[in-house]
Structure 1
Amino acid sequence: MSVKVSVVIPVYNPGEYIEDCISALLRQSLPEDEYEAIFVDDGSTDATPARLDEIAAAHPNIQVIHQESSGWSGKPRNVGTAAARGEYVMYVDNDDWLGDEALERMYRYGVENEADVVIGKMAGKGRPVPVELFRVNRPRASVSNAPLMDSLTPHKMFRREFLESNGIRFREGRRRLEDHVFVVETYLRAANISVLSDYLCYYHIKREDASNAGFQRFDPAGYYGNLREALDIVEKYTEPGALRDSLFRRWLRNEMVERLRGKRLLSLPEDYRQEIFTAIRGVVTERFGPGVAAGMQPTQQIVAALVVDDRLADIEELARWEADIRPTGRLESLGWDGGSLKVGFTAEYQVSDTPMTFRSEGGEDLLDPPLAAETLAAVAGLGVSTLAPVDKSKVDLVVRERSTAAEFFQPVEFTRERVPVEGGTTFRQELRAVATIDPETAANGAPLGTGIWDILVRISSCGWVKEARLGSTRSDDVEKGRLGALSGTPHRVVLPYWTEPHGNLSLDVDLATSRIDRDVRVLAPADVQLGGGRVELPLPVVADTAADAGTVALRFKAAGVPAVRTEGVLTEGPAGTVLTAELPGGLLPGRTWDMGLGLPSARRGKPRWTSLPTALLIAADGTVTVGAAGTPSAAPAPVVVPVPAARKKKSFPSRVAGRLKRGLFG
C-alpha cells in the first residue's frame, strides 16, 4: 500500500523531550504501512542519535537520517521532504507531539476537500497557539475568508506534489522566520486550504528549560531582516491593495506593535528596548503604507503612530498603563438545564484593580490613556484617533483541558451595558452573558474527554484580548446550582467544582478526580430514609429522566461477610435528586453495613465506588436503623443448642476422675 503521510521531524539535542514525540508517532491510528516518520538528526551531540537508531530498527516505517549540524531547522526539513514517499508531508518539532488520530483525520480531511494544505487544531502548553482560527471546521479556507495568518508555524500537512511542483522549500541556514516564508507562500499558492477544528491534532510544547528556538533572545536587526523576506513573498504573489495590507498587518500587529505593549515591553532591558524599537521602526517606515495600520484596533494604531513619530518614551508610558489592565469575571448563576450547564456571568476590564472607564465627548466614546496632551495631539496629527469601539466589545467562555491545554469556545449570549460614573461623562462597560456547556458537544461538536476542564472568560475590546479564570468571585446563591449530572451514553458524571485554593470553576468529566467524594460525604444519617423495604437518600447529581434503572447503585459492606449490592434509580424530588433502591437480601442481622455509592463511568465501563458516611445498623431481631459508618456491630443473638438427656454432661471432677481411671494423663 502506498504511503499516505510522511512525518518529517528535525532533531537537535532534544534529550528526554523527544520521547513524547516518539510515543505519539507510534500510537497513530493510521496503519503502520500507510505512514512513515523521518527523523533528520541535525548533528545532535546527546544520546538522541542512538535512541533514534534503536527505534528505527524496531519499526520499519521509521527511518533516521544523520547529517552534520546546519544550525537551524530549514535544511533538515528539506532533507526529510526529499526522502518522503507520502502523498502528504507533515512537519513536527522534536519537542511536540501529535494526537493519536491526527494523521488519519488530517489525511482524510485533506483528501475529501482536495486540500494542498491541511491545518489541524493545536493546543499550546506554555506557549500561545491560534484560537479564532479553530472556532469551527473550515473545509475551504483562504487568506481572504479565514484568519490563516494567525498560524504561520509549519506544523501542518502539505500535499507533497504541490510543494514539489511549485518548488516551495524552507530557507536554509541560521535564520529566523524561515517558517513564515514557507507557510505564507503555500497559503498564497494553494488551490485550497482546509482547517480541521473538531479534533486536537498538534500539541505545541514549551520546554521546561525554555530552550525552544522560539524562546531565545534574538538579534533585532537580523530578525527583522528575515521578516522582510516574508514581506517579499507577499509582494510577489499579491497586488497592492486591501488584501496585501491585511497580510502585512499580521506582522505589524504580532511582530512589532505587540512587542511594544504592556508587560512584554517593560520586561526588556532599556537598551534592548531601544534596539528592538529601532529595528521595528525601520520596517514600518520602509514597507508599510497607511492602509496597514488603519485596519488595526485603536490601541494598536496608537502604538504604530508613536513608532512612526519616533516616540519610544511615550510608548513606554502607554505600556505602563496597559500593564495594569486585566480582565475580571463574576459568576452570577450556575445550573443544569436539559443536559447542558448554564453559566451566567458578568465581565469587564479593570485598571489597577478599579473598573476601566471610557469618556463620552461630542457623542463619541473615547479611550482615556494617561498620555500628555501634546502626545495625544501628535497622535491625532498622524491621523489616529482614541475612539473606543465599545459597541464591538465581546466576551467568550472557553473550556480548557488542564493536561493538554485543548480549548473550545462555548455558545454565549451577551449584552453590553454602559454603567455611568462621575456624573455621566465617564462610563464603565459591563458585559453580561450566559454560556451553555453541553458536555456531549462542547469540543467543537464532539464530547468533552475525560479530565479536568477549566472555565475561562475571554474579553475582546478596544484592541485588548485577555482571559481570566471564572468562579473565585461569585454570587452567594451559585453554590446551590453546583451539582453533578449524568451525561452521554453510556452515562458518565460531569461535576462542576471549585479549585483550591483560588476557588475557580472547573469541570470534572467522568470522575477524573475524587471531588465527588467530598460532596457525598456531607450525607448524615438523618438524610437517609427507610420504609417499605427501600432506602432513599439525596444525591448532589441532577436526575436524568433518560437514565435507565441501575445507572446508579448502592453497596453494603460488613466485616467478615461478602458485600451486598443493589441497583437504584434517580428521581427529582421537591428538595433535589433522590436515589431510591430496594433493600437487598443477604443483609445479615447483628451487623453494621457501611454504605457505598456506585456512579457510572464511561471510561471504566463499570461503576466508580465511593464510601458514604452512613451505614445500616441491623439488630439481632432484624430491626434496621441508620447510623454513621464504622459504628461497632451489635452483638449477635445467642444461639442455644439443647443437650440430649442420655448424654448428660458430667461435672468437672467426674470428667477428671474418669480420665485418671482410663490412664489418659499418663
Structure 2
Amino acid sequence: MPVSDDLATAVPTGPDAAAPTVSVIMPVHNTRRYLERSLGSVFAQTLDQRQIEVIAVDDGSTDGSAEWLTEQVRSHPNLTVLRQEASGGAGRPRNAGLDHATGDYVFFLDSDDRLDTEALFWLTRTAQKNGSDVVYGRIAGAEGRGAPVDLRTTSAAVSVFDSPVYWSLAAYKLFRRAFLEQHRLRFVEGRLLAEDLPFGITALLRAEVVSVFAERTCYYLHGRDDDSNATRQDIDWCEYLAYIGTVLDQVAAEVPPGADRDKLMVRHFHGEILMPFGAPYLGRDEAGRRAMAAVARPLVERYLTDRVLAALPPALRLRAHCLRAGLDDELTGVVRADTGSRPGPPHLDDDGRVYAGYPYFRDPQRALPDACYDLTDRVVLRQRLVHLHWVGGVLHLRGTADLPPLGGDTVEILLRRGGTVHRVPARYEDGAWRAAVDPATAADGGPLPTDTWGFKIALTAHGPGGAAGPSLRREAWLVPEHPEDETGHPDFAPRIVGRGPAGPAVAALFLSPHGHLHLDLDGTTRPLGADLRGTADCTRSGRATLTAHLTLPGCPTDAELQLLLRDATRTVALRTTATRDAGDHYTVRSLLRSGPPGTWQVTLRLTAGPLRRELPVRPTDAPPDGPIPLTLNVPDTSLRARLARRRRG
C-alpha cells in the first residue's frame, strides 16, 4: 500500500535518474550495522548509477538507521528515503517502495544482504535480452546461511514445474515492473515470516518468461550476528500453519490437481508445512504439539497425494504420514530422533532395499508402513576424485566415497568400453580410497586393449552380516575435483606406457563433455609430440643442421628417435642423435654434409618395440596449434646446377 504523506520523506533524485532502468527497493528495520555493506553494494554496481533508482524504506527503526539513510542522500542523488511507522514485517515497506518505483525493473534487496558488483548489470541485461518477467540470479549463502537453491545453469526461459526456481520464492530477484502492476502484485503486510510467499508464487505462475542468470553469484544471503533473522524469531506456529493453508489454497486455485500441482506441493511440504515439526514442535508441551498437529492435519489431507508422499525423504514422509493418520505420539518420536538425537542405523534388507533407522520400524504395535522408511532410491554415491598422477606407466588415483547413511565397505575402479568392463580393486578405509591402474594388468590381470576407456567408481556397502549378507552397490563416473585444471596438467599429457607382452602404447587422459575421466590408449585423442618444435638451416653448399625439441613422458630407454625428410615421393632417414634432458624433455639433432636437393618436410619417427609413430615437426616460432610444417630447402650442388646459377648472375 502507498506510504501516507505524513509518514514518508522522499528525497528528490535529480534529472539524471528520471528514467531509471531498475529500482532497488530495500526495507529497513533496525539494521544500521549492516546498511553500509548492503546499500554500499548497490552504489558499487558496474551498472551506471544514473540507471539505478534506490528506494530505502525505513520501517520504524530505533537504531539510527533512518538518520543514516537520510545522510546518504547528500552523496547519492539516486537514493530516496521513505519513513513509516513500524509495520511488523517486510511486506508493507516493500509495497511502499514499489508504489514509488519508476524503473523498468524492480529488485528487492534485504538490508542485511548484499549484491555482487555486477549483479544489476547482468540481471537487467538478461531481462532485456529475453523479454523476462522474472529473472533469478545465482544465490549464495554467507556467514553460516545456506542458499535456498543452487542455480548453476543460465537459461533464457525455464518452466516452473521442471526447474528448481520454485524452490526459491523469496523476494530477492528481478521483476519487470509493468508485469507486477498488470497483476497488481503486492506483499502480505504485517507478517514476519512467509510474507513473500503469495507474491512469489503468483509471479512465477503468471509470468510468461522466467529466466536464470547463473554465470556468477548475484546475491549473497548473510546471517545476522545477533540471530535476529525473521526465520529465527518466536513464531505462533498454529497461526503460521493456518496462514500457509490460505497460501496453498491460492496455489490450488492457479494449478489444477495433477502432476504439476504435486511438484509444487512437494516444495511446500518441505519448506512450510513440515518445517515447524522440528525444534519448534518439541519446544511446546503436549497440548501445544497436539494443537500444531491439528492445524497441519487439514493441509496434509488436502494436498498430500501419494505422489507427493513418495517424493518426500523418509524424515518428512514419516511426519506427513503421522499427521494424516493422527499418530501424534509416533510423530513426536520421529521428530525427536531427528532433532534431539540421531536416527538409528539403516536397515538393509535381503532384497537390497534400504530403510531409514527411525523409530517404530516394523513395530507390530504401530501403523507405520515400510514405504515411509524406504530410502533405497535416495542412497546416492557421494564421491570425489581428489588426485591423479602417473608414476612410470601406472596411473595412481585417490579420492573419497560414501553411501550415506550406509557408509561403504569395498571400492572398485571400473574401466568401461561399450559393454566391456574391467575391474581394478582399490584400498578403502575411513571413506578414502586409493587405486593403481596399470595398463599392463588392468584387463583382469592382462594388458588393457588399445581403445578409449571411461573410469567409474563402484562402492558396495554390506549389512551387519558382512559380505555374506545383503549389500547395496552404486556406481558413478569419476570426475576430477578441479576439472578446470585439465588444461596444462602434466598428467593429462600423452605418454608412453608399457603393456607387458602387448608392447607399449600411447596413453592420454581426457575429460568427456560432462567432465568424466577417460583414458585414450591409442593416441588418437591427444597424439604425442604436441610440443615438437625445431629448426632447419642449410648453407649454399648443402650442409644442413636440424634440431628439434619435444617432451616424451614414459619414453623407454631403448626407444629410437630418428629425423626424416619427406617430399611427395621420397623419404630420407637421417642419422640422428637424441639426448634426454630433465623432465622427459628430448633434443634430437641431425647433420647433413650434402643433403638431397629439394624442399623437404621434417618429421620425427619414434620406434619403441611394436609402437611406431611419425610426428610432424613444426617451426619453433609456429603458433601452438598451427599446421605449419618445418621445411628444409636443400640446394642442388651438382656442377651443372652451379654453372646454371652462374649464368643467371
Is contact 2:381–2:476 with CA below 8 Å preserved after alignment?
A: no
Question: 1:6-50, CA deviations, whole angstroms, 9 ceiling, x for partnerless residues?
Answer: 100011111212221121111111011111110011122221111
Kindly tell me: are residues 397 and 38 of structure 1, through their superposed partners in 2, closer, same or farther at Cα, counting changes over 3 Å? Answer: farther
What is the aligned counterpart of 1:389 among 376, 383, 396?
A: 376
Question: 1:286 Cα shift?
Answer: 4.5
What is the aligned counterpart of 2:325 among 305, 309, 322?
A: 309
1:436 and 2:423 are equivalent in the alignment: no
What is the aligned counterpart of 1:129 among 147, 168, 178?
A: 147
Partner of 2:166: 149
Partner of 1:379: 368
Question: 1:283 Cα shift?
Answer: 2.3
Question: 1:392 Cα shift?
Answer: 5.5
Question: 1:367 Cα shift?
Answer: 4.0
Give runs of aligned pairs for residues 589-604 of structure 1, distance below 5 A: none
What is the aligned counterpart of 2:294 among 255, 278, 292?
A: 278
Q: Secondary structure at the match of 2:217?
A: strand
Q: Secondary structure at the match of 1:197?
A: strand
Identity of aligned residues (%): 31
What is the aligned counterpart of 2:175 among 158, 166, 169?
A: 158
Question: 1:477-528, CA deviations, whole angstroms, 9 ceiling, x for partnerless residues?
Answer: xxxxxxxxxxxxxxxxxxxxxxxxxxxxxxxxxxxxxxxxxxxxxxxxxxxx
Kindly tell me: are residues 371 and 124 of structure 1, through their superposed partners in 2, closer, same or farther at Cα, counting changes over 3 Å? Answer: same
Give runs of aligned pairs for residues 244-259 of structure 1, distance below 5 A: 244-259=261-276
In 2, Cα distance between equivalents of 1:22 and 1:257: 35
1:422 and 2:455 are equivalent in the alignment: no
Is contact 2:133–2:207 with CA below 8 Å preserved after alignment?
A: yes
1:195 and 2:218 are equivalent in the alignment: no
Question: 1:95 Cα shift?
Answer: 0.8
1:81 and 2:98 are equivalent in the alignment: yes
In 2, Cα distance between equivalents of 1:367 and 1:376: 19
In 1, Cα distance between equivalents of 2:214 and 2:339: 32
In 2, Cα distance between equivalents of 1:180 and 1:398: 40
Q: Secondary structure at the match of 2:221?
A: strand
1:228 and 2:245 are equivalent in the alignment: yes
| Aligned residue identity for 1:137 | T
1:180 and 2:223 are equivalent in the alignment: no
Give runs of aligned pairs for residues 245-644 of structure 1, distance below 5 A: 245-260=262-277, 273-322=289-338, 356-361=345-350, 364-371=353-360, 373-374=362-363, 378-380=367-369, 384-390=371-377, 393-395=380-382, 414-422=457-465, 424-427=468-471, 434-438=478-482, 573=583
Question: 1:429 Cα shift?
Answer: 6.2
Question: 1:287 Cα shift?
Answer: 4.6
What is the aligned counterpart of 2:50 among 23, 26, 33?
A: 33
Kindly tell me: are residues 4 and 281 of structure 1, through their superposed partners in 2, closer, same or farther at Cα, counting changes over 3 Å? Answer: same
Kindly tell me: are residues 275 and 18 of structure 1, through their superposed partners in 2, closer, same or farther at Cα, counting changes over 3 Å? Answer: farther
Question: 1:298 Cα shift?
Answer: 4.0
In 2, Cα distance between equivalents of 1:276 and 1:377: 22
| Aligned residue identity for 1:168 | L
1:46 and 2:63 are equivalent in the alignment: yes
TM-score when normalising by structure 2: 0.57
Q: Secondary structure at the match of 1:72?
A: coil
In 1, Cα distance between equivalents of 2:99 and 2:378: 52
In 1, Cα distance between equivalents of 2:356 and 2:70: 60
In 2, Cα distance between equivalents of 1:202 and 1:245: 29
Flag structure 1 segments of 5+ consecutive residues without an equivalent.
Answer: 327-350, 400-411, 443-544, 546-570, 575-666
Question: 1:154 Cα shift?
Answer: 0.6
Q: Secondary structure at the match of 1:378?
A: coil
Q: Which moved more, 1:225-234 or 1:26-35?
A: 225-234
Question: 1:255 Cα shift?
Answer: 2.2
| Aligned residue identity for 1:232 | D
Kindly tell me: are residues 283 and 87 of structure 1, through their superposed partners in 2, closer, same or farther at Cα, counting changes over 3 Å? Answer: same
In 2, Cα distance between equivalents of 1:398 and 1:19: 41
Q: Secondary structure at the match of 1:81?
A: helix
Question: 1:293 Cα shift?
Answer: 2.0
TM-score when normalising by structure 1: 0.55
Is contact 1:395–1:414 with CA below 8 Å preserved after alignment?
A: no
Partner of 2:86: 69
Question: 1:213 Cα shift?
Answer: 1.7
Partner of 2:36: 19
Kindly tell me: are residues 417 and 169 of structure 1, through their superposed partners in 2, closer, same or farther at Cα, counting changes over 3 Å? Answer: same
Is contact 1:357–1:429 with CA below 8 Å preserved after alignment?
A: no
Q: Secondary structure at the match of 1:172?
A: coil
Q: Secondary structure at the match of 1:9?
A: strand
Kindly tell me: are residues 14 and 271 of structure 1, through their superposed partners in 2, closer, same or farther at Cα, counting changes over 3 Å? Answer: farther
What is the aligned counterpart of 1:167 among 180, 184, 192?
A: 184
Q: Secondary structure at the match of 2:193?
A: coil
In 1, Cα distance between equivalents of 2:116 and 2:274: 34
- Residue correspondences, number: 405
Name the structure, 1 or 2, with higher relative contact order (CA <8 Å, separation 6+).
Answer: 1
Is contact 1:91–1:157 with CA below 8 Å preserved after alignment?
A: yes
In 2, Cα distance between equivalents of 1:292 and 1:110: 33
Partner of 1:10: 27
Partner of 1:473: none
Kindly tell me: are residues 396 and 147 of structure 1, through their superposed partners in 2, closer, same or farther at Cα, counting changes over 3 Å? Answer: farther
In 2, Cα distance between equivalents of 1:163 and 1:205: 27
In 1, Cα distance between equivalents of 2:383 and 2:233: 32
Question: 1:384 Cα shift?
Answer: 3.9
Q: Secondary structure at the match of 1:57?
A: coil
In 2, Cα distance between equivalents of 1:388 and 1:288: 19
Q: Secondary structure at the match of 1:178?
A: coil
In 2, Cα distance between equivalents of 1:323 and 1:216: 18
Q: Secondary structure at the match of 1:308?
A: helix
Partner of 1:470: none
1:105 and 2:122 are equivalent in the alignment: yes
Is contact 1:124–1:204 with CA below 8 Å preserved after alignment?
A: yes
In 1, Cα distance between equivalents of 2:244 and 2:485: 40
| Aligned residue identity for 1:369 | Y
Kindly tell me: are residues 415 and 175 of structure 1, through their superposed partners in 2, closer, same or farther at Cα, counting changes over 3 Å? Answer: same
Q: Secondary structure at the match of 1:141?
A: coil
Partner of 1:485: none
Question: 1:399-446, CA deviations, whole angstroms, 9 ceiling, x for partnerless residues?
Answer: 9xxxxxxxxxxxx9654423354154444667777442447589xxxx
In 1, Cα distance between equivalents of 2:338 and 2:231: 25
Partner of 1:513: none
| Aligned residue identity for 1:312 | D
In 1, Cα distance between equivalents of 2:301 and 2:57: 40
Q: Secondary structure at the match of 2:272?
A: helix
Is contact 1:318–1:370 with CA below 8 Å preserved after alignment?
A: yes
Is contact 1:417–1:432 with CA below 8 Å preserved after alignment?
A: no
Q: Which moved more, 1:429-438 or 1:204-213?
A: 429-438
In 1, Cα distance between equivalents of 2:104 and 2:365: 56
